[in-house]
Amino acid sequence: MNKKIENLNNPVYPIMIAIAVAHLINDTMQAVIPAMFPILKSDLGLTFTQIGLISFVLNMFASVLQPVVGFASDKKPMPYALPIGMASSFIGIAIIAFTSQYWIIIIAVLFIGFGSAIFHPEGSRVSFMAAGSKRGLAQSIYQVGGNSGQALAPLISAYIFAIFGQRGAAIVLVVAAIGILLLSKIATWYKKQLEQERIAKKKRVLVSNLPPLTKKQVGIALTLLFTIIFARSFYTTNITSFYVFYLMNHYGVSLQLGQILIFTFMAFGVVGTFFGGSLSDRIGRKNVILLSVVVPMPFCLALPYVPLWAAMLFLVIIGTLIMISFSVTVVYAQELVPTKIGTMAGLTTGFAFGMGAIGAMVIGVLMDHRGIDFTMMVVSLLPLLLLVAFFLPKDKPASTV
């Protein structure tokens, strides 16, 4: 029995990697939607506002449901919700691949948003259960999977939709089927771990690296953290969904080159995400968040005004550093409220999705009414809000706790 209890605290690297792969597949399906924007705009004659509404519905639906799922899973974990969620996304992709009607596209993204809402809180819980003492590393590995899936969007656009058109989305269904099988295996492990906890009468408990805080201090810290997530999500949504139009309009680049540059931004974001979690275990969560705020700030502000060669370099720098805190903010929120692992994962990730949804809608309307160049200049100022990170409570590195 004691051996079983000890095993609850050991990192389980195969599961860490497996849930990260599943996260990659889940977010690849979600990334199909922004990848289709140039095709939908040209083939269906959609406006930027309509494109923004598609993104809004997708991300807002996922945003609203995620904390609900997280709260429910804190009360009663749902291992087999994972493959069910991916099956919902499978249905959404199947619909969107074969429709030419705008309102059916909206229905399709509801299925995808529902699947994503189920996956993220439960996936984050699996990551926590497999982490042992490596919480930052585990969350980074998990998030690297998701960010890698999102980073595939411009490549999907450039090398699948540019060749096969909207029907190319059906190719993703093969990967989705693999994801359903993988999540079924993970769900079985998840269920066994819950049973082991029940038998051992010992649950995994998150030990916070933060000092004791009052409810008011926790509330203020969460407000600051959500402000950071808002500004980061709004800004990155602008880059991943709309900056390609700026590249084509302002610099005259082709769609393929533009999408490759967006992929570069997102790929280096994956690199930053991976190193951010393990770095936060060593130097503290707040220090990593500050690093992601201070260093990329001047590059964000200058991006709309530089020549193309500099824009390429700036995208690498911004992508790497602004995303270095992506997984760290989730862990930081969980340490602020350590008894609500699923709820805080759902709130932070869901809030990020929601802000991305609102950002897409606002940016789409702004681009239709004030033009692409003006919109990029306005959005470049948003990272200034990230400076509220200086007022977050200081935590201790995990290695010293």
State how far the Cα of 29 lies from the Cα of 46, in Å rounded to an integer. 21
Q: Which of 89, 122, 186 is nearest to 343 (CA)?
A: 122
Q: Which of 139, 171, 157 is nearest to 16 (CA)?
A: 139
The confidence score (pLDDT) of residue 3 equals 42
User: Are 150 and 240 a contacting pair, CB within 8 Å?
Assistant: yes
The tokens for 74 are 């804190």
Residues in the chain with pLDDT values less than 50: 1-6, 401
State how far the Cα of 399 lies from the Cα of 401, in Å rounded to an integer. 6
The confidence score (pLDDT) of residue 204 equals 55
The confidence score (pLDDT) of residue 200 equals 66
The confidence score (pLDDT) of residue 5 equals 40
Q: Which of 200, 194, 190 is nearest to 4 (CA)?
A: 200
pTM for this prediction: 0.69
User: Are 51 and 35 a contacting pair, CB within 8 Å?
Assistant: no
pLDDT in tens, 92-108: 999 988 887 888 989 99
The confidence score (pLDDT) of residue 203 equals 58
To the nearest 10°, report the CA torsion of 125, 131, 134, 140: -50
